[in-house]
Structure 1
Amino acid sequence: MSAHRAQLSRRGFLGGSLLVVAGAAVGCSTSPIGGSSSGAKTTLNVWSHAYGEAGTQQALTRYAESFTKANPDIAVKITWTPGDYTAKLNSSLLTDAAPDVFETGDLSAAMARRGQLAPLDDLYGSAKSDFNQGDLDYVTVDGKLYGVKMIDDVMTLYYRKSVLAKAGITAPTTFDGLVAAAKTLTTKNNKGLFIGNDGVGDTPALAVLSNGGDLVTDGKAAFASAQAVEAVAALKRLTDGQSLLLGFTTDWWDPSALTQGIVPMQWCGLWAMPAIKTALGDDFGVLPWPAFKEGGSPVVKVGGWTACVNAKGKHVDAAKKFVQWLWVEQTELQKDWSESYGFHIPPRTSVAAAADKLSQGTAKETVALAAKYGKHNSNTWDTEVATPFVAAAKKIVSGQDDAAQLLTDAAKQAQTALDKQHS
């Protein structure tokens, strides 16, 4: 999923928490007293954002239950966190009620440098070489590993094969082609493309990357370069063409606009593929975000979730043991998590190779596109750095002021935030 989910998670609607003790899952709304019925000496508080795929809550509960069976001195409370997960997590980490283990969609180098995240190098062992190098790079800050990637979420452009064929359109390979296709596919009753309810979504970053630019390079904000300005400014053409679906009932992370025939092209994630296939059969394909122009590069966005340990928590050793057990050692559970509740790519190469549901059809094609064109955000690209860039892009798309000046001003703000990460 896209980085910087400021609002409700793409899967988020559940709430509550579960205490998992030796063999039982007990609902609770307050922190339990560890070991009261199980003999556990320690109770870990493990935070998760509220996934929406059916069975995810039960799966995490089963995993925690299995861990407690193997480690009866450690009970695990799974805390389901609805709504603005990132804001709630950041607030909690400042209190005594902070989780011991938490997942994050945007691992922050600043948090690591502030001493909030525990280094996890010792958890990997010989399995380190089996992890995707991009995932290792993502969790590395100043030479240390501060998380273990749980899943890789891959985002691509979905399209209806039959609709494009009927319109005589081939799948676009350049931004010009995408603009033309979206306009041609727009009718009196339907728009041609859905990239998000705000008409912007992930496209500013995709535009920069697809034109050979970058967002951050060697600690410097790089999105005011000539190629970045050119590509972001061009996004206004999608708006001017009136071919974008705006204000739909769900946002880009949900495939309903595509599956209900509201649009024939939609930016969405691999996680939605089972639902898309159920609705459309084989009448869909996937594309990377197209190269901005000849000589540019197609882009497949790679996000996902990472397990971290609170360095200031009360049970750091037990927390590290849980993360190591689940996200390093338990390859069967990792496989289950990646292909049983929507589709995701397992961060471990061997587990990905064993994921049968990802080795066929359009899912296999998506995995190959991610390997060829996948781009991870830098762990320095946090909310404070990204916000001025996104704000500038929205002004550019709506026709406010000069694109070069807006991005230059935004880069100065972002650089101040980047510099603060080292202070």
Structure 2
Amino acid sequence: MKKLLLLFLVSAFLVVTALSAEITFWKFTDTYADATIQRFVDLWNEENPDKKVVFETFPWGDYTGTKLTTAFATGEGPDVFFISPGDFLRYVNTGIALPLSKYLTEDIIADFLPETIEAVTVGGEIYALPLEMEPVALFYNKAAFEEKGISQPQDWAELKEAAAKLKTADRYGIIVEVAPGYYQNFTWYPFLWTAGGDVVDENWEKSTFESEGAIAALDLWGSFVKEGLAPSSLPAGANDIGMFGNGLADMIVCGFWGVKQLQTQFPEFDFGVFPIPPYEKGGESISVYGGWKMMLNAKGKNTDIAAEFARWLVAEQIDFPLDWCTVTNSKFSPRYSVLEAGDEFYNTPPNDVFLEILKTSKSEPTFTPEMVKAVSDAIQAVMFAGMDPKAAAKGASAAINAYLSRYTGGVPGK
């Protein structure tokens, strides 16, 4: 009887131990790319039989909506999860994000481009692992440009002129994101920066949004819609470059990920890429690179195992990042070693254009949701409410200053 009881207790202990070594990994659903992650999750599980990663995906609208916030609010959040720059501070400031510095060696950190680590650092602590970089550019239909005799626009005036020439009764000249939110702001920032504007000062002490650069960028995007050069509504988000491939317009503001998508979905489509034109001829073209990051749950039951898995997947080996960035997708890795291993891919047209764009690109700002909304409201007001760009910039700046006066959270890179 005692032996049976002992065996039962040992078995129960082993079951509990096995269950305690399980971690969950969440991201949004991507039918094309998720198989790559699952393949490496399976590899990890095979090589670590005493540990288990359960990979789960959720529809884009749910994941980027309330899925994560609701899960964490009820204590059911994942151990490892994909996070966008726009949501980064939300989880850092609320104590959900696990500090990662103690899990990363000096050699691991040194393999990342400094600016990518800076973007996930708050108060000297690293709170996420950068996974990818996706600079924004303008994609164009080569045949349409040739037919209309259009050369690569060298400033905003020429960009608008090109959009006007390309517009027909059943086709727009350009696609820009028209829905409010993180993505619209993300693709609008290059125009703000190229015109010499910004949202806040370096230390987040005051808004710098009430500027000629912001006014010009608001006016440009507003004019695209008001003059009928761009659609005022879209069948999908402007991050879906399939609309461009299907002929909705002959130009689109989109990121590096669009290259692989076009090559896969529209293999016969002859497209080209050029940088965001400067505000005036001779000015500097400045783009933005986004990219999802891996964050860990500080309140998870197996934080050490979660950190071990995330470090292995993203920061230690080359196989997954190289596959993820150059085979499954078209993205830049934030790691020197992976960029070197993918040198041939990155120097192949049109990827080489993005390689040049990356050199003058900035990381997507990790503003708080309140700051994002202030900028978004200004863009929307000019696009759809007929507000004067100067008034919109002034209103957004006032809203940001009011928010900063009571903000007590962290500042990225500080």
TM-score, structure 1 as length reference: 0.84
Cα distance between partner residues in 2 of 1:416 and 1:72: 53
Which residue does the alignment assign to 2:4?
A: none
1:166 corresponds to which of 147, 160, 180: 147
Q: Partner residue of 1:292?
A: 279
- 1:253 match: 239
Task: Single out whichever of 214-223 and 169-178 deviates more from structure 2.
Answer: 214-223
Contact 2:274 2:353 in 1 (8 A): no
Provide the C-alpha distance between the structure 2 equivalents of 1:406 and 1:136, rounded to a whole number of angstroms.
33
Of residues 107, 111, 128 in structure 1, which corresponds to 2:91?
A: 111
Cα distance in 2 for residues equivalent to 1:171 and 1:244: 18
Change over 3 Å in CA distance of 1:240–1:34 after alignment to 2:
farther
**Is the aligned partner of 1:75 residue 2:30?**
no
1:360 aligns with 2:337: no
- Identical-pair percentage: 24
Name the CA shift for 1:69/1:277 in 2 (closer, same or farther; >3 Å). Answer: closer
Structure 2 residue identity aligned to 1:207? F
Mark the CA change 1:347 to 1:420 in structure 2 (over 3 Å): closer, same or farther. Answer: farther
In 1, Cα distance between equivalents of 2:17 and 2:80: 21
Q: Which AA in structure 1 matches 2:271?
A: F
| Structure 1 residue 302, shift from structure 2 partner | 0.6
Please give the secondary structure, in 2, of the residue aligned with 1:76: strand
Aligned with 1:286: secondary structure?
A: strand
In structure 2, what is the equivalent of residue 221 of structure 1? 207
Quote the residue 2:5 is aligned against. none
Deviation at 1:340, TM superposition (A): 2.2
CA distance in 1, matches of 2:38, 2:177: 32
* Aligned equivalent of 2:116, options 135, 146, 150: 135
SS in 1 for 2:133: strand
- Contact 1:194/1:245, CA 8 A, preserved across alignment: yes
Residue 100 of structure 2 aligns with which residue? 120
> Contact between 1:109 and 1:421, CA under 8 Å: does it hold in 2?
no
Rate the CA distance shift 1:388–1:239 in 2: closer, same or farther, 3 A: same
Matched, 1:210 2:194: yes
RMSD: 2.5
Q: Secondary structure at 1:252's aligned position in 2?
A: coil
| Contact 2:27 2:82 (C-alpha < 8 Å) held by counterparts | yes
Q: Secondary structure at the match of 1:378?
A: coil
Q: How does 1:253-402 map to 2 (within 5 A)?
A: 253-278=239-264, 279=266, 281=268, 283-294=270-281, 296-355=283-342, 356-370=344-358, 372-379=359-366, 381-398=367-384, 400-402=386-388
Return the alpha-carbon distance in structure 2 between the equivalents of residues 34 and 165 of structure 1: 71
**Deviation of residue 343 (structure 1)?**
0.9
Structure having the larger proportion of residues in strand: 1
Q: Determine the C-alpha separation between the residues in 2 that align with 1:408 and 1:35.
A: 63
Structure 2 residue aligned with 1:194: 175
SS at match of 1:206: helix
Higher relative contact order (CA 8 A, sep 6+): 2
User: Contact between 1:35 and 1:43, CA under 8 Å: does it hold in 2?
Assistant: no
Once residues 35 and 138 of structure 1 are traced to their aligned partners in structure 2, the CA distance between those partners, rounded to angstroms, is 41
2:9 aligns with none
The answer to whether the 8 Å contact 2:24/2:79 transfers is: yes
More helix by share: 2
CA deviations over 1:70-99 (Å, ceiling 9, x no partner): 332221111212123132112211222111
Q: Is the 8 A contact 1:206 1:299 kept in 2?
A: yes
Residue segments in structure 2 that go unaligned for 5+ positions in a row = 1-11, 410-414
Deviations 1:48-90 (A, max 9, x none): 11124x2x22222221222223332221111212123132112
Identify the range of structure 1 (278-287 vs 156-165) with the bigger mean alpha-carbon deviation.
278-287
Distance 1:333 1:321 in 2: 15
Matched residue count:
387
> TM-score, normalised to structure 2's length?
0.86
**1:246/1:402 Cα in 2 relative to 1: closer, same or farther (>3 Å)?**
closer
User: Aligned to 2:350, what secondary structure does the other structure show?
Assistant: helix
Shift of residue 295 of structure 1? 5.7
Aligned-partner Cα distance in 1 for 2:160–2:119: 32
* 1:361 alignment partner, SS class: coil
Using the TM superposition, give the Cα deviation of residue 154 of structure 1 relative to its aligned residue in structure 2, in angstroms.
2.5
